[in-house]
Amino acid sequence: MAYRAVFRCIAGCPGEFPIWEPVYRCPTCSDLLEVSHDLGALKNRSASAWMRLFDERYKRTAWPYGSSVWGKKEWVCPEIRDESVISMDEGGTNLFWAERFGRELGMHDLWVKMCGNSHTGSFKDLGMTVLVSVVRQIIEDGGTIRAVACASTGDTSASLAAYAAGGGVPAIVLLPRGKVSTAQLLQPIANGALVLALDTDFDGCMAIVQRLSQDEGIYLANSMNSLRLEGQKTVAIEMVQQLDWEVPDVVIIPGGNLGNVSALGAGFEMMASLGIINKQPQIVVAQAEAANPLYLAYQNNWAFSPVVAKPTQASAIQIGNPVSVRKAIRTLQRHNGIVAQASETELAEAAARADRTGMYNCPHTGVALAALIKLRERGEIDPSARVVVVSTASGLKFTDFKLGYHERRLPDVRPSHANAPLELANDYDAVRKAIDRHASERA
């Protein structure tokens, strides 16, 4: 059975466009496009047969199906040649049972999907493997792509640079100068990308990279290119697979440029269309209070207006004019959606509190955890619900945030879980006293 996928307008304009052409918006209405699959062909295989196939491929070595993205190739990018795929074994990340943290919140079925346990340390790898693989096949087939470019708050640039380096494709990344962590800045530098640090914010970088993508040969790698979302939707499929093909009741997602919201929604909806699941989860989007345009729209009957994003420790979601906002709103309307926000104190405290139970959270996951705490306290999430929090990046990328918290240096944050090291003389008695004092404080 031949499977195929094309671009179609999210507003429903007629026509379809090959995924092998650099087109990002509908030529009729200028709205975004989305990847549309031939569900009729996919339905020729039963739901049980799809589940069995995906389970047989999961984390195996047969190229490229051991990747948890490419193990679902027919649902992602069916016409890509196996030899064109650029994969770094993305996906297959831990669905962490947050047993102790959940118990503190009165919950017994709380999970954290650790998407940062990936090659470059964020969920962006799931989408970038698809986009760069398509670019590679276009080039192999004679297409004129000179470079792949993105605007980034850090994680997108790291992922693009790594996958482009793996495929021998030139990469250009535009970053807001001084607004990404040192670790995030170094990743595209190390992988050989052309790194341009601009005196603006992410929204300014995004405006420029969209203009660049109008030039022949510069291919856009941001999530307004819906090929990225095809890889990212596998987070939804994988979490259901890891839960023995059962659907969580609630999924909480940190929201910045908002591509992940519609991506996960598409994954759940595709599983329902093909008979694998029979219900949809409630989707919650968590935004930083300093960059909260979707939250404001939610409070105003979904009437959206961009904002000027203020500085936030959750730098990867410091976005005031998210490109994928219409897709995100549509997804939330289909999934009984909620949007919550977190202050700088709330996100820092939530991340630190969860760390004390064995996690090591990035500030963006802190935003999602803070939203969970608020919704539990307000009774909007039932204690018996099976909840999955999507952790988008590794905490190891944000050591400045972590150290600043524990050294009490974060602006406007009074840390209640600070745990700075004690500096002592080389003296046994001093060490012994410190241990005893610590034990008495914990008693």
Alpha-carbon distance of 88 to 228, in angstroms, equals 16
Average pLDDT of 76-97?
97
Q: What is the pTM of this model?
A: 0.94
Q: Is 147 helix (H, G, I), strand (E, B) or coil?
A: strand
Which of 27-31, 208-212, 291-295, 439-443 is predicted least confidently?
439-443
Burial readout 407-436 (b: 16 or more C-beta within 10 A, e: otherwise) = eeebeebebeeeeeeeeeeeeeeeeeeeee
Determine, yes or no, domain membership for 85: yes
Query: Whole domain around residue 418: which residue ranges?
Result: 34-120+224-442
**Residue 285 pairs with which residues in a beta bridge?**
253, 339
Sequence letter at residue 259 = G
Read off φ and ψ for residue 425, nearest 5 degrees: -70, 160
**What's the 3-state SS for 173-225?**
EEEECCCCCHHHHHHHHHCCCEEEEECCCHHHHHHHHHHHCCCCCEEECCCCC
Sequence letter at residue 285 = V
pLDDT single digits (tens) 325-334: 999 999 999 9
- Cα 376 to chain centroid distance, Å, stands at 23
pLDDT single digits (tens) 365-377: 999 999 999 999 9
Average pLDDT of 114-121?
96
pLDDT single digits (tens) 138-167: 999 999 999 999 999 889 999 999 999 999
Query: What's the confidence (pLDDT) of residue 328?
Result: 96
Average pLDDT, the chain: 95
Query: What's the confidence (pLDDT) of residue 441?
Result: 83
Determine, yes or no, domain membership for 16: no
pLDDT single digits (tens) 422-438: 999 999 999 999 999 98
Determine, yes or no, domain membership for 408: yes
Residues 6+ apart with CB under 8 A from 299: none
Percent of the chain scored above 90 by pLDDT?
Answer: 94
Radius of gyration of the chain (CA): 22
Tokens of residue 191, six digits: 């992988």
- Residue 1 pLDDT exceeds 80: no
- Residue 442 pLDDT exceeds 80: no
Average pLDDT of 231-244?
98
Determine, yes or no, domain membership for 157: no
Q: Is 334 helix (H, G, I), strand (E, B) or coil?
A: helix
Determine, yes or no, domain membership for 316: yes
pLDDT single digits (tens) 380-433: 999 999 999 999 999 999 999 999 999 999 998 999 999 999 999 999 999 999
Determine, yes or no, domain membership for 263: yes
Question: How many residues comprise the chain?
Answer: 443
Count of structural domains, the chain: 1
CATH of the domain at 263: 3.40.50.1100
Determine, yes or no, domain membership for 23: no
Query: What's the confidence (pLDDT) of residue 223?
Result: 85
Determine, yes or no, domain membership for 345: yes
pLDDT single digits (tens) 179-196: 888 999 999 999 999 999
